[in-house]
Structure formats: C-alpha cells, structure tokens
Structure 1
Amino acid sequence: MLYPWQEGIWKNWQQLLDQGRLHHAILLVAPTGSGREALGKQLAKTVLCQNGITEPCGMCHSCRLFDAGTHPDYHHLAPVDGKQIGVDAIRQCNRWAVETSQLSGERVILIEQADVMGEAAANALLKTLEEPPSGCQFILMATSLDNLLPTINSRCNKWRLAMPAEADTRRWVESALMQSIPLETVRLNGRAPLATLQFIEQGQDIRYRKLLEAFAGFLNPPFLGVFDVAGMCVEEGHQSLKWLSYFLVDCLKWQQGVTEHLIHCESLPLVQQAAATTDPILLQSQVRKVNALLRQLEQQTGLNQELLIVDWLTGFMNQP
C-alpha cells in the first residue's frame, strides 16, 4: 500500500517502467517515518511481476511469493542491531546480482539504510553498480546522502521523497488516530507522517513532555534535578538528545527575536523561561556539544551514557 505523499514519485517510476527506461540502480532519499519501505517494495514487486508492467497484478506466482515473503529473486538487506552494513553482506548481494533468476524473470536487491554502509562495503557495491548484471534491479534507500560515497551517488538515479506540508501531515495522523494532535508533535518529527503517528501511539509524546518540563526546570537556577534529567535521557535513548537540541535551538531563535515557525510552538512558556535565564553564548556552545555528544553515542557503543549526559548538563551551570 502506498501513502498519498508517495504518489508523485510512484507515477514517475511508472512512466519509466512503461517506457523501459527505469535505471538499474534507484536511490530513494527519504526520512525515517516516511514509509519509504512501502514505496521501495512496491517498485520491487512491480519489477518482479509476471503480468504487470506499471503495477503488480497481485495474482501471478511471483506476486503471491512476494506477498508471502518467499520470492527467490527478491533480496532484502538492512543493518542488524544498529550496526553498519558490512562488506560480507554486500559481497553476498553481488553474488545474488549475477545469479540466474529462479523464476526466469528479473532479480531485485533492496538495500535499506544504504547510508550506513561501511567504506569497504560501499566500494564492493560500487564495482557491481559500475558494471550492472543484466536483469538485476537495485533499490537503495537512505535518510541522507551525507554518509554515502559520492561514487555510489553518481552510479544511481536519485529520487527525494518530500514530506507533506505540516497541515497535511497533521490531518493524516489525526484521521488515523481519530483524535487531535499538537502541531508541535508534527514539527518535532520533521513532518514525517508515520514517525508522527508512531510517536503518539508509543507514548513518546507523553515522555517527551515530561523530559521537556524537567529540562526546562533544571535550566532555571539553582540547576536542580541534573540526575533526573540524565536518567530520563538514558531511558528514552539517543533521540532524547535530539529533542533537547531542538528545544535549545528554539531558545536561541527566541533570544534573536524569531517568534514564528518554532518547533515548540505550544511550549512557548518553557522556551521563554529558558531563553531568559541562559546566556546566549553558553546556549550556542551547549547546542554544539549536545550534537557532538549525540554523534559520539551513535557511533560508539559501551560508553557510560549517563556520565556523559551529566557532564554535558553541568555545562549549563557555567553561566558568565
């Protein structure tokens, strides 16, 4: 099933399929929570379908196998346990690419989060993309191009999935939940509809609000509750630091006179309070540090997260 905000790209792909001009390596750049997996699998199913050209028929042997998750010519690769896609996994992809189709049709290799491939893995894939085997379709999906080798980019036909306007995302999520939601929640999730929906369904909106209130209270001298805030961050995971970073950036904007398009549009009293009590230079420094800490925690395992977060939080006590 495709989502409404995916129809534009899908129609373009259908036109290329109809004309026989679909590139052998499609690179779909889309944020987490955009439903990109559904779009990639729709393309894969269509390419493999024995009857359809621009739509999967849903009835042929290939479509039935695809729906059952047992299609022998469809190969799906994704990171495991948050680790990089390694060179061994890509070498297996390369072997799949040159194998003979078991259904005498096309072969499809879909790689999720291609932007977390290691350098050796990316170089191994590059060789196959440079000399693509006949009858093999690659579909790569990534959140950003920043961590993808430029040479991989240059060998793919790139497509960016734009998120709906925030009003449309809000309307879609409210329809799915049959309840109203804050605009702040939509902005916090980058207008990604599925991310916003999951944010509320999993109760993250409640935990986010509690963390935000605790953090804003901590920023108000005499800076009490540092271990409470750190513990909430550890319990929620790395994304909690993103939330705090967004909040601090809104505080900076408020100090500079920007009063519109803030993420925390429904938490303005907290933004105003923190902006009034925190030195602007210190605030800028703490934003840089929390973003650096986030990258460190995402790239390295086994670190004492609570200790590092407490160390960052105590930096707010160094008011000039």
Structure 2
Amino acid sequence: MLYPWQQTLWEKWQQLLEQNRLHHAILLTAAKGSGRGELARHLAHTVLCQNGYTEACGMCHACQLLAAQTHPDFHVIKPEQEGKQISVDAVRQCNRWAVETSQLGGRRVILIENADALGEAAANALLKTLEEPPENCQFILTAQSLDSLLPTIVSRCNKWRLSVPDEAQTQHWVEMQLMQSIKTEAVRLNCGAPLATLQFIEQGQDIRHGKLVEAFATYLQPPHTGLYDVAGLCAGEGTISLQWLSFFLLDCIKLQQGAGQCLVHRESASWVQKVAQAVPAATLIRQARQINKLHQQLQKHTGLNDELLIVEWLSTFLTEN
C-alpha cells in the first residue's frame, strides 16, 4: 500500500521500470515516520513480481511468497537493534546473496534498511558489490539522510528523496485516519512526518507530552516544585521526552527573541510564555545545549541511570538562576 505523499515518486520509478532503466542500486532517503520502508518494499515486490512490470500483481507465485515473507530471492539486512550499526558479517552475507543464482529463475532483491547505520568497515565491504553489480540483482537502500553515509556508497547509488507533506496535509491525513481533530503541535513535534504523528496520537504520547510540559513549566517558575515529578515523567517516557523538552526550551528562546510565530508548541504557548518570562535567556540557551548532550549520551549508553542524570540536569536550572 502506498501513501498519498509517495505517489509522485512512485510514478517516477514506474516510468524507469517500464523503460527498463531502473538503476541497480536505489538509495531512498526520507524522514522517520514517512513510510520509507513501505515504499522500498513496494518497489522490491514490483521488481520480483512475475507478471507486472510497473506494479506487483499480487497473484503470481512470487507475490504469494512475498506476502508470506518466504520469497527465496528477497533478502533484507538492517541493524539488529535501533541505534546499532549494521555489522560487517551482515554485509558479507549480503554480498554472498548478490552472486547466488536466483532460486525462482528471475531477479534478486537486496534491501538494506537504515543504510546510514553502516559502519566504515561494513560500508567498505559493500562497495565492490555496488561498483560491479551481479546481473539481475537489485539493491535498494534506505536512510534518514545522506550525512552518515560514506560518500563512496552514495556515489554508487541512484539517489531519491521522499519529502513529507506540508504541515496542513499531514494534519488532515492524520485526522482522517483517526476521525478526530489533533493539535498542530503534534505534527510539529514529529517534524511533519505523517506516520510518526499518527503513532504519537495512537500511543497516547500527546497526552503524556502535555503532562510533561505542564510539570516542566511549573517547576521552572517559583517556588520550583515538582523536580522529581518531571524526572519521573521523563524516565517513564524514555529519551524522546528529552527531545520534547529541547523543543520546548527552543520555543522559549524563540519567544524571547521575537519569533513567537514559529513555535512548535502552538497549543501550549501559554506555558512557553510563562517560562520565557521566568528564566533568563542565557540560562535557556545553556540548558538547551546541555539537554541535547544528555539526549545523545543516553541514546549511546543505554545502561545509565536516566532518572538520576535528568534530576542532575534539572537541578542546574536553580543553581544558574
């Protein structure tokens, strides 16, 4: 199934498929929550379909095997855990698949999800295969951005960018799925990505986000109560909560600098205003930098005591004021 915002890019790929001009290595970059994985798999299924040239038929033996996730010529490698790198061993296996004979006598497809998680050794192991591709082997790589990919990998691929819809379109699409209105800040907190916004609402994160913002803003105003309430809410939600607070602090800075029309927290603007009035600009800027460092630290080292580190960070607001 394709989403509406994917249709334009898909039609371009269909033209290449019809003309037999699809590059042997497609690199798709797109934001998290935009459905890049679904689009990549849709292309893989179309390439492997035994009847269709520009769209999978859904009826042939290959399509049935794909639906059952048992197609012998469709291979996927990706990080074993979120935030981890794709191993060199996984890439070596990928290279072996690339030179194998098709078990169904057709094409072979290798999908590399989150290719920006390829470490330097793994990327180098892939280079020769991408440079001299075996016959009838289609590579599809997906990534969030090109920044973390080796230039040598990027240069050997045909690059495509899937853009997210504009804010109003994303909000409308999510509201149609849920049959209810949603806040604009829910879209902005998820960088406009439709699927991420939908999941944000479905999982009740919008409600927990609202509680965290209220508790955080209350703590930052005299008499500065509720430190452990804020830390507990953050620890319960995970590292994403630190990203929410980072957005909130940046909104406070924007308001102080006269850019209040650009707030992420549109519906929570009253809390932003209260904090912007109560906390000096220098403190907000310093704390925004510190929370981003803490976010990166907790993502990289999963065994740390999240709540204790968050309490320490929150405490520095009072010592700096």
| The 10-residue stretch of structure 1 (174-183 or 300-309) with the greater mean CA deviation from structure 2 | 300-309
1:289 Cα shift? 1.2
1:78 Cα shift? 2.0
1:21 Cα shift? 1.3
1:186 aligns with 2:226: no
Q: Hey, what does 2:131 align to over in structure 1? A: 130
Hey, what's the Cα distance between the residues in 2 that align with 1:301 and 1:185?
Answer: 27
1:279 Cα shift? 1.1
**Aligned residues of 2:265 and 2:272 also touching (Cα < 8 A):** yes
SS, match of residue 320 in structure 2: coil
Q: Hey, what does 2:145 align to over in structure 1? A: 144
1:254 Cα shift? 0.3
Gaps of 5+ in 1: none
1:58 Cα shift? 1.3
SS, match of residue 101 in structure 1: coil
Q: Hey, what does 2:49 align to over in structure 1? A: 49
1:193 Cα shift? 0.9
Q: Hey, what does 1:274 align to over in structure 2? A: 275
| The 10-residue stretch of structure 1 (217-226 or 280-289) with the greater mean CA deviation from structure 2 | 217-226
SS, match of residue 318 in structure 1: helix
1:277 Cα shift? 0.9
Q: Hey, what does 2:111 align to over in structure 1? A: 110
Hey, what's the Cα distance between the residues in 1 that align with 2:26 and 2:19?
Answer: 16
Hey, what's the Cα distance between the residues in 1 that align with 2:223 and 2:154?
Answer: 51
State the one-letter code of the partner of 2:118.
M
Q: Hey, what does 1:165 align to over in structure 2? A: 166
What are the superposed Cα offsets for residues 191-234 of structure 1, whole Å, 9 maximum, x if unpaired? Answer: 11111111111111111111111111111133222222112111
Q: Hey, what does 1:154 align to over in structure 2? A: 155
Q: Hey, what does 2:30 align to over in structure 1? A: 30
Hey, what's the Cα distance between the residues in 2 that align with 1:25 and 1:149?
Answer: 15
Q: Hey, what does 1:11 align to over in structure 2? A: 11
Q: Hey, what does 1:249 align to over in structure 2? A: 250
With structure 1 as the length reference, what TM-score do the two structures score? 0.97
Hey, what's the Cα distance between the residues in 1 that align with 2:134 and 2:316?
Answer: 55
State the one-letter code of the partner of 1:288.
R
Hey, what's the Cα distance between the residues in 1 that align with 2:262 and 2:10?
Answer: 31
1:57 Cα shift? 1.4
| The 10-residue stretch of structure 1 (103-112 or 118-127) with the greater mean CA deviation from structure 2 | 118-127
State the one-letter code of the partner of 1:294.
H
| The 10-residue stretch of structure 1 (222-231 or 290-299) with the greater mean CA deviation from structure 2 | 222-231
What are the superposed Cα offsets for residues 49-78 of structure 1, whole Å, 9 maximum, x if unpaired? Answer: 111111111111111111111100001122
**Aligned residues of 2:254 and 2:262 also touching (Cα < 8 A):** no
Say how many residue pairs are matched: 320
Which runs of 4 or more aligned residues in structure 1 lie more than 3 Å from their structure 2 counterparts after TM superposition? none
Q: Hey, what does 1:309 align to over in structure 2? A: 310
> In angstroms, what is the RMSD of aligned CA positions?
1.2
1:261 Cα shift? 2.6
1:157 Cα shift? 1.1
**Aligned residues of 2:170 and 2:187 also touching (Cα < 8 A):** yes
Hey, what's the Cα distance between the residues in 1 that align with 2:185 and 2:112?
Answer: 32
1:62 aligns with 2:62: yes
Hey, what's the Cα distance between the residues in 2 that align with 1:102 and 1:120?
Answer: 30
SS, match of residue 109 in structure 2: strand
| The 10-residue stretch of structure 1 (303-312 or 35-44) with the greater mean CA deviation from structure 2 | 303-312
Gaps of 5+ in 2: none
Q: Hey, what does 1:98 align to over in structure 2? A: 99
1:319 Cα shift? 3.2
Aligned pairs (5 A) from 1:68-87: 68-82=68-82, 83-87=84-88
| The 10-residue stretch of structure 1 (307-316 or 133-142) with the greater mean CA deviation from structure 2 | 307-316
SS, match of residue 186 in structure 1: helix
What are the superposed Cα offsets for residues 29-61 of structure 1, whole Å, 9 maximum, x if unpaired? Answer: 111111111100110001111111111111111
With structure 2 as the length reference, what TM-score do the two structures score? 0.97
Hey, what's the Cα distance between the residues in 1 that align with 2:147 and 2:295?
Answer: 16
State the one-letter code of the partner of 1:249.
L
Hey, what's the Cα distance between the residues in 1 that align with 2:63 and 2:8?
Answer: 23
State the one-letter code of the partner of 1:57.
C
Hey, what's the Cα distance between the residues in 2 that align with 1:317 and 1:146?
Answer: 37
**Aligned residues of 1:166 and 1:186 also touching (Cα < 8 A):** yes
**Aligned residues of 1:48 and 1:105 also touching (Cα < 8 A):** yes
**Aligned residues of 1:278 and 1:319 also touching (Cα < 8 A):** no
State the one-letter code of the partner of 2:63.
C
**Aligned residues of 1:279 and 1:319 also touching (Cα < 8 A):** no
Q: Hey, what does 1:121 align to over in structure 2? A: 122
1:266 Cα shift? 0.6
Q: CA separation of 1:221/1:150 partners in 2, compared to 1, >3 Å: closer, same or farther? A: farther
What are the superposed Cα offsets for residues 160-216 of structure 1, whole Å, 9 maximum, x if unpaired? Answer: 111111111111111111111111111111111111111111111111111111111
Hey, what's the Cα distance between the residues in 1 that align with 2:311 and 2:117?
Answer: 29
Hey, what's the Cα distance between the residues in 1 that align with 2:315 and 2:146?
Answer: 34
